[in-house]
Structure 1
Amino acid sequence: MRIFLAGLISLGMCSAAFAADMAASFDWGPTKKCFDGKSPPFKLSGVPDGTVKLDIRMTDLNAPGFSHGGGKVAYSGQKTLAYGAFRYKGPCPPTGRHKYRFTIKALDAKGKKIAAATATKLFP
Structure 2
Amino acid sequence: MQFRSHLATLSTLALIGLSSPGYAFEIGFDWSGLKSCTSGNPGTVGSPAFTLSDIPEGTKFIRFKLVDRDVPGFNHGGGVVEWNGSKTVPAGSFKYKQPCPPNGSHTYEWQATAQTKKNGGKLETAKAQRKYPE
Normalising by structure 1, report the TM-score: 0.80
Q: CA RMSD in A?
A: 2.0
| Structure 1 unaligned blocks of 5 or more | 1-12
Query: Which residue of the partner structure matches residue 117 of structure 1?
Result: 126
Contact 1:31 1:39 in 2 (8 A): no
Query: Which residue of the partner structure matches residue 63 of structure 1?
Result: 71
Q: Amino acid of the residue matched to residue 120 of structure 1? A: Q
After TM superposition, the structure 1 = structure 2 runs for residues 48-87 of structure 1, keeping only pairs within 5 Å, are 48-87=56-95
Across the two proteins, how many residue pairs are aligned to each other? Answer: 110
After TM superposition, the structure 1 = structure 2 runs for residues 98-117 of structure 1, keeping only pairs within 5 Å, are 98-109=106-117, 111-117=120-126
Q: Amino acid of the residue matched to residue 36 of structure 2? A: K
| 1:27 equivalenced with 2:30 (yes/no) | yes
Q: Amino acid of the residue matched to residue 119 of structure 1? A: A
Q: How far apart are 1:24 and its partner, in Å?
A: 0.5
Normalising by structure 2, report the TM-score: 0.74
Q: Amino acid of the residue matched to residue 71 of structure 1? A: G
Percent identity between the two aligned chains? 39
1:79-116 deviation digits (Å, cap 9, x = unpaired): 11111111111111111111100110000137310111
After TM superposition, where is structure 1 displaced by more than 3 Å over at least 4 residues in a row? Answer: none
Partners of 1:73 and 1:94 in 2: CA distance: 30
